[in-house]
Amino acid sequence: MNVAVTQQGYTAFEPRPLSPTIGAELIGIDLARDLSDAEINEVRRALLEFKVVFFRDQSITRAQHIAFARRFGALEIHPATPADQEDREVLRIAHGPNSRGVENNWHSDVTWRETPSLGSILRAIELPEVGGDTLFSDMYAAFEGLSPEMKRFVTGLTAVHDIARVFAGRLKKSAEDLHARFPPMEHPVIRTHPETGRPLIYVNTGFTTHIKGLSRKESDWVLEHLYAQAAIPEYQCRFRWAPGSIAFWDNRACQHYAASDYFPAVRVMERVTIAGDKPFYRA
Ligand code: SIN
C-alpha cells in the first residue's frame, strides 16, 4: 500500500479526521492482509491520536476480525456471549423487530471489570437502510472543558461501577449472581490514560452507580454534571455505518452511544474487545 506520508507521519494509511477533536477514517489499509508490526503500530498510534478510528469497505471474516484484534492485546470474553457460541471472543449485538437497540446511552465498555477494556473493534454485519449511527465523545476534551475548580474537586474522587446496572436485566440474572463473578469495582473519577498520560473523565451513565464519600444527592449531582459532558456536540463525532465498515475505539479515552432510531429494522454488529489495565490517576 503506497500512501504518501501525511502531516502526522503515517505511511500505512491516510487519516481523514471526522471532527477537530475525535475520530478519523484510515484510508487505504486493507485489514484482510497480514499486516506488518509497523502497520499495526501505526494503527495503534492513530487510535491514541484520534481516540476512535474507522475503516471502510473491508471484507474480512470473523476469524480475521479476531486475529486483527489480537494484534493489540489479549481478548476478553463478555458474560453476555452464549456459552455454546463458537468464537467466544465475539460479542454479537443484534436488534430487529423483536428487540429495540438498547446501547443508546453514553458509556465506555465493561468499566465494571477490575481491568476494563483497552479498546473495542466493531464490525458491521447487517445494517438498516438508514439510522443506527454510533456517536463517540472525547473524554479528554470533556475534562479539559471543566472549570479549574470543578477539575480540582473531581480529581482524586473514586466511583463505583456495577455490571448489574445494565446486565441484570439483559441477562435476567440477579445482582447477587452477577456480583459473585464481577463484584462492583472502584475506579478513579478522573483517570490518567496509561499511554498518553493525559487526564480524562472516567464515569459513565451505563455502569457508574455512585461516587464514594459523597451523599447520594451530591453524588448524583456531580455524576449528572460529568455525564452531561459526553453529550456536548463539540466533543463528538458521529459515524454512519455502511457495509464493510469497522470502528476501533479506545475505551480509555472516549465514550460511545449507539443511536437506537432504526426499529423495527435489523442491525447486527460483532464486537471484539481487547483487555486493558487497572485505571489509575497520576498527577
Ligand atoms: C456498543 O455499545 O459496544 C455497541 C455500539 C454499537 O452498536 O454501535
Active site residue 210: no
Contacts of 123 by beta carbon, 8 Å cutoff, 6+ apart = 58, 60, 65, 245, 246, 269, 270, 271, 272
- The answer to whether the beta carbons of residues 145 and 250 sit under 8 Å apart is no
Mutate which of 256, 261, 268 for ligand 1? The one with the most ligand atoms within 8 Å of its CB, which is 256
Q: Is the pLDDT of residue 5 over 60?
A: no
Q: Are 65 and 243 in contact (CB under 8 A)?
A: no
- Predicted structure pTM score: 0.95
pLDDT at 7 over 60: no
**For residue 10, pLDDT beyond 50:** yes
Q: How far does residue 105's CA lie from ligand 1's centre (Å)?
A: 10
* 256 included as an active-site residue: yes
Question: How much is the pLDDT for 2?
Answer: 34
Q: Which three cell numbers stand for residue 141?
A: 476534551
The arithmetic mean of pLDDT across residues 27-44, rounded, is 97
Q: How far apart are CA 114 and CA 126, in angstroms?
A: 33
Which tens digit of pLDDT belongs to each residue from 208-254?
999 999 999 999 999 999 999 999 999 999 999 999 999 999 999 99
Q: Where are the domains of the chain?
A: 3-274
**Ligand 1 close to Cβ of residue 269 (< 6 A):** yes
- pLDDT tens across 105-120, in order? 999 999 999 999 999 9
pLDDT at 1: 33
Q: Name the pLDDT band for 4 (thresholds 50, 70, 90).
A: very low
Predicted pLDDT at 257: 98
Q: Give the tens place of pLDDT for each residue, 132-149.
A: 999 999 999 999 999 999
Q: Write a three-state SS string for 218-236.
A: HHHHHHHHHHHHHCCHHHE
Give the pLDDT confidence of 192-206 residue by residue, as tens digits: 999 999 999 999 999
- The finding on whether 270 has its CB within 6 A of some atom of ligand 1 is no
Segment of 5-14, 79-88, 169-178, 249-258 carrying the highest mean pLDDT = 249-258
Q: Under CATH, what is the fold of the domain 3-274?
A: Double-stranded beta-helix (3.60.130)
At residue 80 the predicted structure's pLDDT band, cuts being 50, 70 and 90, is very high
Asked if residue 153 lies in contact with residue 146, where contact means CB atoms within 8 angstroms, the answer is no
